[in-house]
Structure 1
Amino acid sequence: MTRLRTLGRLLLLGLLVAVSACTRGGDEQRLRAALEDMHTAIEQRRPGDFIDFVAEDFTGAEGTLDRAALHNLLRGQVLRNERIDVVLGPADIQIQGDRATVSVTATLAGGSGGWLPERGAVYAITSGWRRDGGDWRCVNAQWRQSL
């Protein structure tokens, strides 16, 4: 169960990094807006709003996590951590037609909201996105702890 919680935090970081890396117009701006909304949703403890940006056919953690499991994982993180902090490194975004790939390094920390976090780790995250009309949806994500 701890591994699943960690995986959910990693996915969140990867998505947030993608938002900060989008600097070109059009599709990248739509990706940025979606990821900013996801970031706001987690900060405001609304995992249901976050999951709205995740595709129905989402798979993560090498196929062991579907959309419903990710939603449950995020709800668990919100309940477990009064505060979740995310620090993102530079992101690499590649858009190819109706698909996008985002690679990023993210540092996640959580805890009761005190001055020092109680838990934290650094992850390398790669997420895949699909354009659905004018919106982007995350369809897959893989992550590995790097520190």
Structure 2
Amino acid sequence: MKPTTRIAVLLLGVVIGLLVYRRTPDEKLIRQSIDAAIQATEQADASALSALLTDDFDGNSGAMTQQDVANPLRLARLRGETLHAVLGPVDVEKRGERYVADFTVTLTSGGKVFPAQLGVYKVEAAWRKDGREWRCYEATWTQQL
């Protein structure tokens, strides 16, 4: 094989390797996790939502744990409730090795499990790498309407 052919083959291998190894940016992975949380809420899938939260999850400064967040979804599923969550714009900002996402979410329901909790919420969610996954370890939310 000629030296120029070897170089061409080597460059082709590098290009193919770079195309195959395209790593998804962390910010995009966090946005995908937020979308998955919205989907889990709409499906009243407590397990799917819990999988996105760390075991030491802290909601609203100690007011809610991972299980406290998941339990209303379990109740909604048992009662056959329909839940809807509409996600507003998401802003993701890197802070050291972690990320913070700010967004709004509108919650509505076709039943009676959550009447006082329905409305528009402003959410700030902090994310950290847990193994290979980005998981939410802290969140605060306030009802806007």
TM-score, normalised on structure 2?
0.69
Quote the residue 1:133 is aligned against: 131
Q: Structure 2 vs 1, CA of residues 81 and 61 (structure 1 numbering), >3 Å: closer, same or farther?
A: farther
Q: Structure 2 vs 1, CA of residues 111 and 80 (structure 1 numbering), >3 Å: closer, same or farther?
A: farther
Gaps of 5+ in 2: 1-23
Specify the structure having the higher radius of gyration (Cα): 2
Percent identity, please. 35
SS at match of 1:108: strand
Could you give the per-residue CA deviations for residues 24-61 of structure 1, whole angstroms, max 9, x where no partner exists? x5101221332333333333332112211100010102
Misfit runs of 4+, over 4 Å: none
Structure 2 contact 31–90 (Cα < 8 Å) conserved: no
SS at match of 2:62: coil
Structure 1 contact 130–136 (Cα < 8 Å) conserved: yes
Q: Which amino acid aligns with 2:47?
A: G
Aligned-pair RMSD on alpha carbons? 2.4
Cα deviation for residue 64 of structure 1 reads: 1.4
Aligned residues: 119
Q: Which amino acid aligns with 2:110?
A: G
Alpha-carbon distance between aligned partners in 1 of 2:80 and 2:124, rounded to the nearest angstrom = 24
TM-score, normalised on structure 1?
0.69
Alignment of 1:22-101 (within 5 A): 25-80=24-79, 82-101=81-100
Gaps of 5+ in 1: 1-24
Alpha-carbon distance between aligned partners in 2 of 1:120 and 1:43, rounded to the nearest angstrom = 13
Higher relative contact order, chain-length normalized (CA < 8 Å, sep 6+): 1
Alpha-carbon distance between aligned partners in 1 of 2:92 and 2:50, rounded to the nearest angstrom = 21
